[in-house]
Structure 1
């Protein structure tokens, strides 16, 4: 798959690739109506379309990301609909068979990075968007539908599982993988270690895909 990756838009990395692996194994993907939230370059939406999803919608709050995802859909000749807005706002009232998301999840400490950092900034504990997705995603899923979220262990995997179960979802860890820190986590390693979110000197993070099914 060819992708344009403009500055300020999250370029697919290990977390994207791990989620794609889980996505492609999902039994209900063929012909499914899929929503990709926080789409960035559109990589996950395009992967779903390429694997046979029936209808794919992608959403991002960033104008630059929306333009990149639309360009990448044209570049790869794959039919995805790309909308701009905050999380589920542009698709309010719609229901999907599957929702996939790789949201910003890196803790930003006590500071609030500017717009240029929006693609990675997950708020003070990394859960600013994760918690909102866990709360709202079940309302956008049809019965029997599936939510797939990828995140780092530094932003609380158990918290994600608990939040989804509190919404009546059946949630579990679908995949795990350890990889070296990328540029953002390397730059914030000392802060994460001081906060007890990372082991001192580890230099690596555990990526986790959480699967939740609506009963």
Structure 2
């Protein structure tokens, strides 16, 4: 743990306290590069400690009791500590021998039982299925020839690791099981990121909710990860920087997106939703992910006729914002905004705002739309038909609750 030299005593590893709402742990990892202000190049087998990404995944994960869970690319084992609190059997995998040793030690320190296995992607769990898979994989998009740091670089070019992980995950999910993954993906010229991910995930028997949280241009992205490796200001920085940019140009990559995905195995026609949400959210998001899945199931099982007969309620944290000239009879804009969770905001017209405001569980959607049609002098049948898609969207986004 400590090194004694002529200059004094120095830490060899990072040992720090870590906790959830009910447990306190100690987590062992390698030292954070540059923590003392001096940039230090990390070694190939560097084991990352508690990071913003690992914390984000922990807060994204749905914490419902399950029988089996897989922590793919466990690193120092932080996710496994959380999983062990609501899972019967936890399996953790990694390709880094040093990470495997630290994950075992951290499980021992926390007094939790984790089956730690060596291997890449799903190779160590061939033929096995899980109720929950979580992964903060080595997703950094870089040239395959770049010097490899195992904790962040897979050795595969571009976002190939993410593609393999996402396409193989459905085959390792039990019925109703879910995979929750942090990832980077490239933005290629002539292709949207939604089309790229949809091409990987369509037809694989899983609902998909993908949220892009950030986008970095290739120069910004390269600077970020070279600095992370401790190369900033070093003799190899300029050459490595140019090599990365040349590779991005050769591949037609204009930017890199960062976000998360929730895949859930279903026995019906899957629903894919891929969206951007770069705004502040309330953590933890796990309960919101679980609630959205329940709403998706409800919508999939509800016909348009049944939807108009449903008695919905507006979520209690939804607020209406209006903007317009003082004294004007009608507002110029109406925005419905959630105060909790993902904190969605949605522009609405008079009908949508009136519908959400009247949804208190007493009247059906159809009755409310009929009343609005009468107030606005519109045909009730036309209004019902035209507004059903918007009602579905309001439920999907959590403004209305079944």
With normalisation by structure 2, the TM-score equals 0.45
The aligned runs of 1:122-201 (5 Å cut-off) are 122-123=154-155, 125-154=157-186, 158=194, 159-173=196-210, 176=213, 181=224, 183-184=228-229, 195=248
C-alpha contact (below 8 Å) 1:105/1:120 kept by paired residues: yes
Contiguous gaps of at least 5 residues in structure 2: 1-17, 19-25, 31-44, 233-239, 267-402
C-alpha contact (below 8 Å) 1:150/1:209 kept by paired residues: yes
The aligned runs of 1:1-215 (5 Å cut-off) are 1=18, 2-6=26-30, 8-23=46-61, 26=62, 29-50=64-85, 52-109=86-143, 111-114=145-148, 117-123=149-155, 125-154=157-186, 158=194, 159-173=196-210, 176=213, 181=224, 183-184=228-229, 195=248, 207-215=258-266
Greater alpha carbon shift after TM alignment, 180-189 vs 5-14 = 180-189
C-alpha contact (below 8 Å) 1:108/1:122 kept by paired residues: no
Task: Render the CA deviation track for 1:183-207: whole Å, top value 9, x for unaligned.
Answer: 14986777666636566xxxxx864
Cα distance change on mapping 1:178 and 1:79 into 2, 3 Å: farther
Cα shift at 1:175: 7.4
C-alpha contact (below 8 Å) 1:45/1:58 kept by paired residues: yes
1:202 matched residue in structure 2: none
Tell me the number of residue pairs that the alignment of Structure 1 and Structure 2 aligns: 204
Cα distance change on mapping 1:106 and 1:191 into 2, 3 Å: farther
Cα distance change on mapping 1:124 and 1:61 into 2, 3 Å: closer
How far apart, CA to CA, are the structure 1 residues paired with 2:215 and 2:51?
Answer: 13
How far apart, CA to CA, are the structure 2 residues paired with 1:176 and 1:56?
Answer: 29
SS of corresponding position for 2:98: helix
Task: Render the CA deviation track for 1:21-65: whole Å, top value 9, x for unaligned.
Answer: 111xx26x3133110111111111112113x22221101111111
User: Which structure is richer in relative contact order (CA contacts within 8 A, separation 6 or more)?
Assistant: 1
SS of corresponding position for 1:103: coil
Task: Render the CA deviation track for 1:89-125: whole Å, top value 9, x for unaligned.
Answer: 22111110011111111122252424xx122114565
C-alpha contact (below 8 Å) 1:106/1:123 kept by paired residues: no
C-alpha contact (below 8 Å) 1:161/1:210 kept by paired residues: no
Cα distance change on mapping 1:22 and 1:186 into 2, 3 Å: farther
How far apart, CA to CA, are the structure 1 residues paired with 2:263 and 2:162?
Answer: 13
How far apart, CA to CA, are the structure 2 residues paired with 1:16 and 1:164?
Answer: 24
Cα shift at 1:149: 0.8
With normalisation by structure 1, the TM-score equals 0.79
Cα distance change on mapping 1:22 and 1:124 into 2, 3 Å: same
How far apart, CA to CA, are the structure 1 residues paired with 2:243 and 2:55?
Answer: 27
